[in-house]
């Protein structure tokens, strides 16, 4: 069998895709790069917002046409598969395999069934499963917990992924050791609410470290860079900020979603904190990590949001000074309390507010990025950029950055880079050698240069 997986959504979905692909390979499947090559196409879905749901609907329609022309098995996994909305879609588009987020290890049974297979149960063995380390990659994700015990009124995650279940620290560290042995240099700890790790259903798990303690353990493992996402302000503690500040391997980067700057909207969202409490966390973070890079999530146009509520979000943005933000128009999702009980705002109003918030974010991102010009940043390069002759990567603070290829620098690796230019969205600079001076740039390929030197284009 030749298999191909299409992934939408969050980093947790990327991790789950790796888990399922490793299962497929263990069953003898060959992973291929395109739908057209595949006998089995599996879509890993997201149901948090309406846009990825519509993308899945479009792809399923295209795959149904292909099924009419050639032998093809179509599968759907992830959050949308767990919902009645997704199951109706699966019936309509003749999906053969349907796996919820808690049943990913059923993929082998599904392929052996030779008939429609729907696995939608939450199973504990998934939390104990350790996938093989990714090969040939410097970055890896590491899931430390699944599910969520909060019930924000706009969020479908507790329905699709169930209540919070923390993985055992032994399993986490064993998977980490495998990743380090495979050459991974940057690990991102994943969870719907990572900083609630070890406290499932409101109860502290015996023998489990706190999230801050787990961070320190991972930071002492020998890994060069540690990040984590996503946090909930209700579970954020000052000890987490202290762990970041005290542990060199933990990056000076915190993603702390606020969603709104208005206490009234936060109550309607059931976020369980207010603006003052959130700003207390920000003050703690800045005290322990003076050079912290702050990202957040903001939902624009939540039902009932007034212009005054929105102005409070804008003022919070200025008060915190975020480096960047993931900003979304509120998307009503069937099955959530806000969908059932609240009336949506006009799309035109939501779009106009989003445009104002984007302008605010661009202004702050430009200010923050401009402050990096002239500094030396540690950059993990992943490989070639879209522009020929350049490498692309990211700093410890998750800033996107590009630099010309240089003599003595591999296409993938961690290097020191002096930042020379900035835009609201990325940085650019030069790779430095051990003496702190820029390394000579490699000549960029042109047909004229090739004719003179006999050089071949760089891969």
- What would the pLDDT profile of 277-289 be if each residue is shown by its tens digit? 999 999 999 999 9
Q: State whether 49 and 96 are in the same domain.
A: yes
What's the CATH number where 415 sits? 2.40.50
Per-residue model confidence (pLDDT) at position 17: 95
- What pLDDT is attached to residue 456? 38
pLDDT at 127 over 90: no
Mean pLDDT of the 294-300 span: 98
Is the same domain home to 55 and 150? no
Find the range with the poorest average confidence among 170-179, 230-239, 442-451. Answer: 442-451
Same domain, 210 and 263: yes
- Flag whether pLDDT at 366 surpasses 80: yes
Q: What distances in angstroms separate CA 455 from CA 28, 68, 291, 337, 441, one per listed residue? A: 41, 48, 44, 63, 15
Identify the pLDDT of residue 454: 38
Q: Are residues 13 and 60 in the same domain?
A: yes
What kind and span of H or E run contains 277? helix 275-288
Whether pLDDT at 184 is above 80: yes
In terms of Cα–Cα distance, which of 229, 337, 250, 272 is closest to 13? Answer: 229
Residue 170 has pLDDT above 50, yes or no: yes
List of E strands, 385-444: 390-395, 400-404, 413-422, 427-431
Same domain? For 16 and 159 the reply is no
Domain boundary among 95, 119, 143: 119
- Shared domain for 105 and 140, answered yes or no, is no
Question: What is the reported pLDDT for 449?
Answer: 41
| Residue (of 348, 276, 264) closest to 310 by Cα position | 264
Give the domain-ending residue among 92, 119, 146. 119
Q: Are residues 269 and 379 in the same domain?
A: no
Average pLDDT over residues 361-371: 97
Q: What is the mean pLDDT of the chain?
A: 93
Beta carbons of 259 and 312 less than 8 angstroms apart: no
pTM of the model: 0.92
At CA 387, angle to CA 385 and CA 389, rounded to 5?
85
CA gap 98, 346 in Å, rounded: 34
> How many domains in the chain?
3
Does 251 count as an annotated binding residue?
no
- Co-location of 283 and 345 in the same domain: yes
**What is the domain range of residue 325?**
126-370
- Where b means 16+ CB within 10 Å and e means fewer, 435-445 reads eeebbebeeee
Identify the pLDDT of residue 303.
Answer: 98
Domain check: are 284 and 336 in the same one? yes
Report the C-alpha gap between 422 and 377 in whole angstroms: 13
- Strands 73-78 and 413-422, how do they pair? unpaired
* Least confidently predicted of 130-134, 180-184, 206-210, 224-228: 130-134
Per the rule left: phi > 0, alpha: psi between -120 and 50, beta: everything else, 19 is alpha
Asked if residue 289 and residue 145 are part of one domain, the reply reads yes
Better-predicted residue by pLDDT, 126 or 102: 102
Q: Is the pLDDT of residue 308 over 60?
A: yes
Region of residue 153 (phi > 0: left; psi between -120 and 50: alpha; otherwise: beta) = alpha
pLDDT digits (tens, 9 = 90+) for 25-62: 998 999 999 999 999 999 999 998 889 999 999 999 99
DSSP-based helix, strand, coil % in the chain, nearest 5: 40, 25, 40
Mean pLDDT, range 240-253, rounded to an integer: 98
273-309 core/surface letters (b: 16 or more CB in 10 A; e: else):
bebeebbebbebbbebbeebbbbbebbbbbbebeeeb
Share of the chain above pLDDT 90, in %: 88
- Do 307 and 392 sit in the same domain of this protein? no
Each residue's pLDDT tens digit, 390-415: 999 999 999 999 999 999 999 999 99
Contact 430, 406 (CB under 8 A): yes
Residue 202: pLDDT band (50, 70, 90) is very high
pLDDT of res. 448: 44
Query: Is residue 79 a known part of a binding site?
Result: yes
Q: CATH number of the domain that 266 lies in?
A: 3.80.30.20
How far, in Å, CA of 147 to CA of 164, rounded?
4
Give residue 445's pLDDT. Answer: 56
Is the domain of 291 the same as that of 159? yes
Q: Write down the pLDDT at residue 117.
A: 82
> Cα–Cα distance between 78 and 47 in angstroms, integer?
8
Q: What is the CATH number of the domain that holds 114?
A: 3.40.50.2300
Last residue of a domain, one of 337, 370, 403: 370
Instruction: State the pLDDT confidence band at 114, using cuts at 50, 70 and 90.
Output: low
| Contact of 153 with 107, CB cutoff 8 Å | no
- Please provide the size of the chain in residues: 459
């Amino acid at each position: 069998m030749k298999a191909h997986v299409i992934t939408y959504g969050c980093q947790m979905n990327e991790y789950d895709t790796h888990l399922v692909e490793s299962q497929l390979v263990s069953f003898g499947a060959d992973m291929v790069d395109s739908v057209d090559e595949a006998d089995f196409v599996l879509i890993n879905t997201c149901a948090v917002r309406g846009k990825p749901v519509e993308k899945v609907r479009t792809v399923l329609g295209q795959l149904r046409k292909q099924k009419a022309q050639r032998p093809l098995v179509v599968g759907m996994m992830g959050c949308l598969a767990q919902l009645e909305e997704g199951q109706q879609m699966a019936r309509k588009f003749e999906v053969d395999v349907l796996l919820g987020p808690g049943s990913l290890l059923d993929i082998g049974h599904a392929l052996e069934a030779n008939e429609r297979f729907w696995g939608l149960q939450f199973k504990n063995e998934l939390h104990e499963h350790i996938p093989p380390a990714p090969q040939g990659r410097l970055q890896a994700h590491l899931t430390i917990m699944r599910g969520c015990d909060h019930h924000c009124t706009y969020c479908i995650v507790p329905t699709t992924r169930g209540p919070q279940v923390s993985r055992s620290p032994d399993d986490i560290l064993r998977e980490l050791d495998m990743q380090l042995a495979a050459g991974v240099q940057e690990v991102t700890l994943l969870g719907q609410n990572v900083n609630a790790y070890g406290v499932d259903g409101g109860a502290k798990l015996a023998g489990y470290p706190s999230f801050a303690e787990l961070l320190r353990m991972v930071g002492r493992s020998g890994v060069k860079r540690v990040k984590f996402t996503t946090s909930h302000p209700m579970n954020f503690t000052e000890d987490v900020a202290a762990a970041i500040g005290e542990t060199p391997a933990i990056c000076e980067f915190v993603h702390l979603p606020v969603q709104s700057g208005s206490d009234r909207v936060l109550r309607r969202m059931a976020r369980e904190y207010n603006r003052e409490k959130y700003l207390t966390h920000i003050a703690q973070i800045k005290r322990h990590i003076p050079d912290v890079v702050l990202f957040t999530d903001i939902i624009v146009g939540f039902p009932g949001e007034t212009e005054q509520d929105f102005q409070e979000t804008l003022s919070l943005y200025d008060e915190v000074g975020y480096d960047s933000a993931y900003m979304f128009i509120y998307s009503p999702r069937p099955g959530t309390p806000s969908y059932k009980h609240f009336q949506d705002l006009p799309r035109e109003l939501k779009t106009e507010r989003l445009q104002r918030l984007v302008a605010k974010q661009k202004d702050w991102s430009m200010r923050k990025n401009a402050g990096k010009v002239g500094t030396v940043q540690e950059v993990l390069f992943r490989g070639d950029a879209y522009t020929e002759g350049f490498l692309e990567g990211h700093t410890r603070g998750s800033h996107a950055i590009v630099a010309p290829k240089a003599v003595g620098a591999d296409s993938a690796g961690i290097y020191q880079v002096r930042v020379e230019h900035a835009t609201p969205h990325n940085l650019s600079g030069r790779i430095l050698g051990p003496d702190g001076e820029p390394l000579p740039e490699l000549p960029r390929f042109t047909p004229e240069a090739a004719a003179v030197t006999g050089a071949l284009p760089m891969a």
